[in-house]
Amino acid sequence: MGYWPPWSLQAFELTVTTYLGADGSLQQPLPAFASVEMRTGLYQDMVLTRTFDAKAIALQRTGRLGTYASCLGQEAVGVGIGRAMQPDDVLVPSFREHGAQLVRGVTLIELFAFWGGDERGSNFAVAQHDFPVSITVGGHAPHAAGVALAFKLRGQARASVCVYGDGATSKGDVYEAMNLAGVWRLPVVFVVNNNQWAISTPRKEQTAAIALSDKAVGAGFSGEQVDGNDVIAVHTVISSALDRARSGQGPHLVECLTYRLGDHTTADDARRYRDDGEVTRWWQQDPLARMRAHLTSEGVWSRDQEEALLKACAAKVEAAAEAYLAAPPAAPESIFDHLFARLPDALLDQRTAVMERAETDDA
Amino acid sequence: MGYWPPWSLQAFELTVTTYLGADGSLQQPLPAFASVEMRTGLYQDMVLTRTFDAKAIALQRTGRLGTYASCLGQEAVGVGIGRAMQPDDVLVPSFREHGAQLVRGVTLIELFAFWGGDERGSNFAVAQHDFPVSITVGGHAPHAAGVALAFKLRGQARASVCVYGDGATSKGDVYEAMNLAGVWRLPVVFVVNNNQWAISTPRKEQTAAIALSDKAVGAGFSGEQVDGNDVIAVHTVISSALDRARSGQGPHLVECLTYRLGDHTTADDARRYRDDGEVTRWWQQDPLARMRAHLTSEGVWSRDQEEALLKACAAKVEAAAEAYLAAPPAAPESIFDHLFARLPDALLDQRTAVMERAETDDA
Amino acid sequence: MPEHTLLEAVNLALRRAMSEDERVLVLGEDVGIDGGVFRATDGLYQAFGAQRVFDTPLAETVIAGAAIGLATQGFRPVAEIQFMGFIYSTIDQMVNHASRLRNRTRGRLTCPMVLRAPFGGGIRAPEHHSESAEAMFAHIPGLRVVIPSSPTRAYGLLLAAIADPDPVVFLEPKRIYRAFKEDIDTSSAPLPLDRCFVTRPGRDVTVVTWGAMHVEALDAAAIVEDEDIDVEVIDVATLKPLDEATILESVTRTGRLVIAHEAPLTAGFGAEIAARIAEKGLFDLKAPIRRVAGWDTVMPLPKLERLYMPTAAQIVNAIRSVMAYQ
Amino acid sequence: MPEHTLLEAVNLALRRAMSEDERVLVLGEDVGIDGGVFRATDGLYQAFGAQRVFDTPLAETVIAGAAIGLATQGFRPVAEIQFMGFIYSTIDQMVNHASRLRNRTRGRLTCPMVLRAPFGGGIRAPEHHSESAEAMFAHIPGLRVVIPSSPTRAYGLLLAAIADPDPVVFLEPKRIYRAFKEDIDTSSAPLPLDRCFVTRPGRDVTVVTWGAMHVEALDAAAIVEDEDIDVEVIDVATLKPLDEATILESVTRTGRLVIAHEAPLTAGFGAEIAARIAEKGLFDLKAPIRRVAGWDTVMPLPKLERLYMPTAAQIVNAIRSVMAYQ
Ligand SMILES: Cc1ncc(C[n+]2csc(CCOP(=O)(O)OP(=O)(O)O)c2C)c(N)n1
Ligand SMILES: Cc1ncc(C[n+]2csc(CCOP(=O)(O)OP(=O)(O)O)c2C)c(N)n1
Ligand SMILES: [Mg+2]
Ligand SMILES: [Mg+2]
């Protein structure tokens, strides 16, 4: 494998890309891609994501979904990533990128199934090359590098996008993957979904690095920060990084500055370790409110449209939830049927036994 | 654990500290510590290290030592580190720091024993707190962080020094250790013994980072490069880093630029993968020749002194080699006797069996 | 005396060890102000402060590795891995360093550390949150592997693990963290780290088990009692070093052995126990040795998890099958 | 036909797989121009170029992890870990990802990769260069674990491992890398990945083994031949999935079982084989099942290494001891 002349350290000045202020006001001229249609589309995706999120929590609270990781407040990151990608790019997500997954074509039913504890939820009908959720923090980063290497070897203009949290930046796996991507100049964009907390551990106790985007320096490529609650900014920065990656200019690290408005998961109680005040302050930065204010002030979004959208999202999510709840359970033997391409003879007895056991249990 | 306000990125400009040019000429005024006595001492340590190194290779070639990793050409790094440390600092070395170990009080006999395949060689009589050689690349870095944390918790003005190669900088273990040291501001100095090769993998294929000292950026502390073939420079830079660490100013990364003049180990043949020309060029940078030229030109080192030194080193090394070769083998049951503080009853039978087996084998 | 769950027992043991020995430290992800995701370290940060209890960055390799460094300097670190599914990143440190430092240096540097992790399934948790990888650690020379199955044993064994001068992997069966309570005498002595516990004496068949399966074994024993089958239940407790003598003595008496564990069957630790008896107790066996274990599959996600988990019913079947041999 | 060592057989299999299938890639530390520290990949870089053979940075986790990524995209990566002592950093990737991707996605993403590593002791190597950790991998559902013990089997099994649509851990007994030669038919078919090999038929006692110990087993069989003991030797070859039937059939005939491996005794893979027979072949056993294995110690450094390594002499002792039962 060759090496490549590294970027200059100059690339690492800290500027945070933002288009929309917290009140929705424009901070700089909009990028070319941001047509009205595109902006309303981004907003609609975020609303759908939030609607799904609320339903997932509700289902969990009533015992009809497993432990669930909410993305409340981080919708702009997921949607911005998902919309910046081309269909044949590959998403290698963590567990808080529901927005990205939805935009990529993962269905609401698949998401409910996954979080409901059904492997079929990761057998995406549409996003067939995307990776499933990685529950191990950081363990998926090496895969993104491998996927990008495959694209490079085949000379394809495709890229992989690896998303992980602020906590994950402390894992050696992530570092090793970035270092490999750097030295082999792989078409991969690393995205830190920095929601300021890793369960109870705040960002500042995770690392002394000035910015998490600085983690790219040691891997020999560039990084930058973006306002993660500004979906236009996220989209812009990740689109450019992807363009560069696909055209052979190597990896890039994007740190999205955002905030986890909810608990870590439905099994967590964030009030044990963080101030309500902090949460309240970050609600001022709500990515949905910001975008809605922007669209309203531009006169391209009305109260009627808003109501219709909320209704439509609720209907979609309800329908998906019902389909999820009504889905027949997977067959008992399915726990053996996807272990290998062909089940080794040595396991046939166990497969039979689990079917028998299921019958006995049901009887 | 608290966090600390990180260093500024400004600290990362690339300057390579050097005092002695390749011809021994002074590049800048000598630092205060570098008395004539100190300089001749450093030179003597390097010569002893090289004498040991040659003998170790010779013993290996004749089947009387195990696989051995030569430090030929890297003596200034080892000796510079060893002399910069205080006795109660703790060295956490890789496998190419024989010079540092010798200066720290590890005996020649212990070194021979270790490389001869005898665990007793790591039971240092003098350097009692130092770690043994780490054969796993990078696996020792977390230990250095833990040791430094112990010093910090006890409020002791001590530091640990963790040394590893250019190849090791790619390991996630090293990154995790540096990140922890950064965020907890631990008194540890990380030293990259950058000899340009990791077996057959050149530095440039290891990482796209501009300098290996840049690896500190992501961990939130400072790093710098030093001419690793200039023992005065190595000593100076590491001494200052240690002073800062001991006084609570946190970790630092020092990249020593040097070169592996020999094969990776006695089991390697470097001509398979690198140019003789490169090796010849680096011989011009020989740390011993450079220091000798300097001392000679300063009029503080004579041909007689040189001859006497070589003779004395040879005699010391020969005596140690003989003592090593004459040492009675460890008892068979010693393979059980240091596994636990008290051998569990469950293993008593095995211990007896190995003693019986040794008798049968000998008979 | 107050009644305590297994989880509380872990907390009480940590508290007592920290009170009695200032060398004891606690580190891991979210072990501080949050008290651990299961609350095993609840209140320790508040009671002992930031010099004794550390929230680490999210990095399991350096959690284990820094604990090793601390241990060499005379501290007694108790490192928590949040779930056993994330313990694999520590294996390199545990096998290549923790288990070897004493031997490597002929006793000069030692490694009195405890690596704690909740393990096992049955709580409908996400992927990787239900692992039972004890067999991997039990294969590593120089380590102790301890698994409590009741509040009192959790208390006494954890005290012993912390006091032990060598590295101990301490795995806590999270399914029974809060399943039942026992009285805990907080002035009691540590329990031995090289003994199995006969938790129910019996005549006809020996059931050897550990962790959350111990409860299933007791349930199974109660069920077959009605069939006049008298089951002896042994909680292995310390898998390494294994107290072979207690198991052998029992099987010699009963002539029948059933081994139950949650981990996948193949190369699980049950195999080791079967192998020992097949060597040393063969001629006392009246019946084949049966293992009740997890399938050789990946642990299913919650919807099908119950089909993976061995339960009292499977143990009962195994007991009946060995009782068929007279 | 030319004669080849086991090491050359590995090289020949890689060469053939790379020639016949352009999806096959080789990656690892020093596998390129250097041809690997043992020369297993010698000449591949020169023959197939920098698009097929990659020297990686020194980072085992991402070697395994990048191989997983490549595999999901239709490549067939063969990743080398330089020595098994450095494989522990890959366990998280292998257990949490490689072995599960297919199952996790119901077959949508698959992981046809091979993780190769030289393993075992007896070559007077430095610390960590003599590991036998096969039991850890054999416990992981969803993986195959393959260990050849001769040049022809190395050739046929590695071809099969590379062609297999699922992840395979392929461990090469480095002590016999160059110990003996065999003819290799480079047009031969791959060998099955679910069969043990009966390498010496016999009547009186079954010796089951793998890796470098296989040679010791054959030597032991030859030694006791003079005592009129007829030994059947079985090379397990594929530890996972285990071909229980072949072993069981043999033990049913001979009534005696000796298992020999280099890894430490406790929770070694020998235990699994003993446990299977103690369940399914108990009443055919005339003698206790004996395991000849490494001690439950850290592998000693070279000076005392010979006291660790099980040899033909220990196997002979075990054979005699089981023959004492009639
Ligand atoms: C390797 C690993 N260690 C520990 C955990 C348990 N855990 C799950 S999420 C989490 C925090 C993750 O923080 P971050 O990376 O910031 O992502 P976030 O949850 O904030 O999105 C932890 C510790 C895990 N899943 N994987
Ligand atoms: C974790 C690990 N992987 C692989 C090896 C095999 N190995 C021994 S030394 C070495 C190269 C080390 O290079 P570097 O870190 O630059 O140190 P140097 O040998 O040049 O001093 C390798 C790959 C090892 N010892 N440990
Ligand atoms: Mg976070
Ligand atoms: Mg090097």
The full 3-state SS of D159-180, as one line of letters, equals: HHHHHCCCCEEEEEEHHHCCCC
Residue D82 CA to ligand 2 center (angstroms) comes to: 10
Q: What is the pLDDT of residue A361?
A: 81
Is residue B175 part of the annotated active site? The answer reads no
Please count the residue pairs, one from chain A and one from chain B, whose beta carbons lie less than 8 angstroms apart.
108
Give per-residue pLDDT as tens, D164-191: 999 999 999 999 999 999 999 999 999 9
Report the nearest-CA residue for atom 25 of ligand 2: B136
Q: Which residue's C-alpha comes closest to atom 6 of ligand 2?
A: D82
d(CA A126, CA A122): 11
pLDDT at B4: 33
DSSP strand pairing (A16-17 vs A222-227): parallel
C92 with B136: Cβ contact below 8 A: yes
B223 lines ligand 2 (CB under 6 A): no
Name the neighbours of A, counting chains with at least 3 Cβ pairs within 8 A. Answer: B, C, D
Of the candidates B3, B273, B281, B357, the residue annotated as catalytic is: B273
pLDDT at B360: 87
Cα-to-centroid distance, D104 and ligand 3 (Å): 24
CB count within 10 Å of CB B309 equals 18
Mutation target for A interface from D53, D86, D103: give the one with most A CBs within 10 A: D103
Kindly tell me if the per-residue pLDDT of B362 is higher than 80: no
CA–CA dist B112, B133 (Å, integer): 13
Q: Which chains touch B (3 or more CB pairs under 8 A)?
A: A, C, D
Mean pLDDT, chain A, rounded, equals 95
Q: Which atom of ligand 1 approaches the CA of A265 most closely? A: 19
Q: For residue B241, give every residue at least 6 positions away whose Cβ sits within 8 Å of its Cβ, in sequence order, or none.
A: B189, B252, B254
Taking the centre of ligand 2 as the mean of its atom positions, its distance from the CA of residue D57, in whole angstroms, is 10
Nearest CA to ligand 1 atom 25: A136
Q: Which atom of ligand 2 is nearest to the CA of B171?
A: 1
Per-residue pLDDT at B6 exceeds 80: no
Per DSSP, the residues of A135-151 read -STTTTHHHHHHHHHHH
**d(C-alpha D161, C-alpha C74), whole Å:** 47
- Residue A100 near residue A93 (C-beta atoms within 8 A): yes
Q: Which of C59, C102, C165 minimises the CB distance to B338?
A: C102
Q: Cis peptide before A6, with omega less than 30 degrees from 0? A: no
Which of the other chains make 3 or more beta carbon contacts under 8 angstroms with chain D?
A, B, C
Backbone angles phi, psi at A101, to 5 degrees: -65, -45
- Select from A273, A347, A354 the Cβ nearest to the Cβ of C307: A354
* Whether A180 and D61 lie within 8 Å, measured CB to CB: no
Q: pLDDT tens digit string along C93-114?
A: 999 999 999 999 999 999 999 9
Element (H, E) at D114: strand D114-119
Output the pLDDT for position B5. 28
Contacts of A247 (CB under 8 A, 6+ apart): A157
For residues B34 and A17, give the distance between their C-alpha atoms in angstroms, rounded to a whole number: 50
Per-residue pLDDT for B129 more than 60? yes
Q: What pLDDT score does A100 carry?
A: 98
- Chain C contact residues (CB < 8 Å to A): 29-30, 32-35, 37, 55, 57-62, 85-86, 89, 124-129, 265, 295-298, 300-308, 313-314
Residue of C nearest to A113 (CA): C303
C61-71: pLDDT as tens digits = 999 999 999 99
Q: Where are the beta strands (DSSP E) in B82-240?
A: 90-92, 160-165, 188-194, 197-198, 201-202, 222-227
Minimal CA separation from C33 to chain A, in Å: 6
The pLDDT of residue B15 = 79
How would DSSP label each residue in A27-43?
SSPPPTT--HHHHHHHH
CB contact under 8 A, B210 and A8: yes
Q: Across all residues in chain B, what is the average pLDDT? A: 95
The pair of structure tokens assigned to D229 is 């003991």
- For residue A362, the model assigns a pLDDT of 74
Amino acid identity of B87? Answer: P
β-bridge pairing D76-80 and D24-28? parallel
Instruction: Please tell me the predicted confidence (pLDDT) of residue D1.
Output: 59
Closest Cβ–Cβ partner in C104, C271, C288 for D272: C271
In A, which residues are within 8 Å of C302 by CB distance? Answer: 66, 116-117
Q: Which ligand is nearest to the CA of B200?
A: 2
Q: Do B66 and D125 touch (CB under 8 A)?
A: yes
Q: Are strands A16-17 and A197-198 parallel, antiparallel or unpaired?
A: unpaired
- pLDDT tens digits, one per residue of D139-158: 999 999 999 999 999 999 99
Contact between C302 and A117 using a beta-carbon 8 Å cutoff = yes
Cα–Cα distance measured from residue C165 to residue A175, given in angstroms and rounded to the nearest whole number = 34
Query: What's the gap in Å between B167 CA and the centre of ligand 2?
Result: 6
Task: For residue B225, count CB atoms less than 10 angstroms from its CB and return exposed for 0-12, middle for 13-18, buried for 19 or more.
Answer: buried
Q: Residues of B with CB below 8 A from D297's CB?
A: 335-336, 339, 347, 350
The answer to whether A165 and A194 are in contact (CB under 8 A) is yes
Give the Cα separation of D308 and D132 in Å (integer): 12
Is the CB of residue B79 less than 8 Å from the CB of residue B49?
Answer: yes
Q: Which has the closest alpha carbon to A338: D108, C317, B63?
A: D108
Sheet with D76-80: list strands edge to edge: D53-55, D24-28, D76-80, D114-119, D168-173, D144-146, D238-240
Residue in this structure with the two tokens 């021994």, named with its chain if needed: B24
To the question of pTM greater than 0.90 for the whole model, the response is yes
Residue to test with chain D: of B272, B274, B356, B359, most D Cβ within 10 A: B272
What pLDDT sits at residue C1?
Answer: 59
- Percent share of chain C, pLDDT over 90: 99
A88 has a pLDDT exceeding 60: yes
User: pLDDT tens, A339-359?
Assistant: 999 999 999 999 999 999 999
Report chain C residues whose CB lies below 8 A from the CB of B334: 106
Give the CA distances from residue A43 to residues A286, A289, A295, in Å, rounded to whole numbers and listed in that order. 12, 10, 9
Strands B201-202, B197-198: pairing kind? antiparallel
Nearest to C147 by CA among C310, C245, C260: C260
Instruction: List the catalytic residue out of B50, B83, B203, B260.
Output: B260
Share of chain A above pLDDT 90, in %: 95
Distances (CA, A) of B313 to B106, B110, B302, B327: 16, 16, 16, 21
Beta bridge partners of residue D182, listed in sequence order: D4
For ligand 1, atom 17, the nearest C-alpha belongs to A165
Exactly one of C4, C97, C128, C129 is catalytic; name it: C129
Q: Is A260 touching ligand 1 by the criterion CB < 6 Å?
A: yes
Task: Kindly list the distances between the CA atom of residue A202 and the CA atoms of A296, B186, C153, C177, in Å, as whole numbers in the listed order.
Answer: 35, 19, 35, 28
CA dihedral B104, B105, B111, B114 (to 10 degrees): -90
* Amino acid A230: pLDDT: 98
* Tokens at A157, concatenated: 């203009």
Return the ligand 1 atom nearest residue A135 CA. Answer: 25
Say how far apart CA C252 and CA B194 lie, in whole Å.
Answer: 62
Task: Read off the pLDDT of residues C35-47 as tens digits, 9 standing for 90 and up.
Answer: 999 999 999 999 9
CA distance B131 to B359: 34
Burial of A4 from C-beta contacts in 10 A (0-12 / 13-18 / 19+): middle
Structure tokens at A1: 């494998």
Determine contact: A201 vs chain B, CB below 8 A.
Answer: no
Neighbours of D91 (CB within 10 A): 25
DSSP A20: B
Coil, strand or helix: which one is B352? helix
Please state, for a pLDDT cut of 70, what percent of chain C lies above it: 100
Q: Measure A305 CA to ligand 1 centroid, in angstroms.
A: 38
Cβ distance D103 to C269 less than 8 Å, yes or no, reads no
Interval B181-238: pLDDT, tens: 999 999 999 999 999 999 999 999 999 999 999 999 999 999 999 999 999 999 999 9
* Atom 12 (ligand 2) nearest CA: B198
A chain contacts of residue C85, beta-carbon cutoff 8 Å: 135-136
DSSP state of B27: S
Phi then psi dihedrals of residue A217, to 5 deg: -55, -50
By Cβ distance, the residue of D37, D58, D302 closest to B206 is D58
Cβ A97 vs Cβ A104: under 8 Å: no
Q: How many CA atoms lie within 13 A of B37 on its CB side?
A: 1
- Hey, which residues does A192 pair with through a beta bridge? A164, A255
Structure tokens at C290: 């049966």
Residue B7 Cα, ligand 2 centroid: separation in angstroms? 31
Helices (H), ranges, chain D:
6-20, 44-48, 60-72, 91-93, 101-104, 134-138, 151-163, 213-225, 244-254, 269-280, 302-308, 312-323
- B73: enclosing H helix or E strand: none
Residue A2: pLDDT band with limits 50, 70, 90: very low
Q: Distance between terminal CA atoms of chain C?
A: 46
**Residue C249 tokens, joined:** 């003595």
C285 with D282: Cβ contact below 8 A = yes
User: Any residues with CB less than 8 A from the CB of B161 and at least 6 apart, and which?
Assistant: B81, B85, B89, B90, B91, B92, B144, B188, B189, B191, B238, B242
What pLDDT is recorded for position C65?
A: 98
For the question of an ipTM over 0.95, the answer is yes
> DSSP for C71-134?
HHTT-EEEEE-SSGGG-GGGHHHIIIIITTHHHHTTTSS----EEEEEE---S-PPTTSS---H
Mean pLDDT of D262-266: 98
- Residues C5-14 have a mean pLDDT of 98
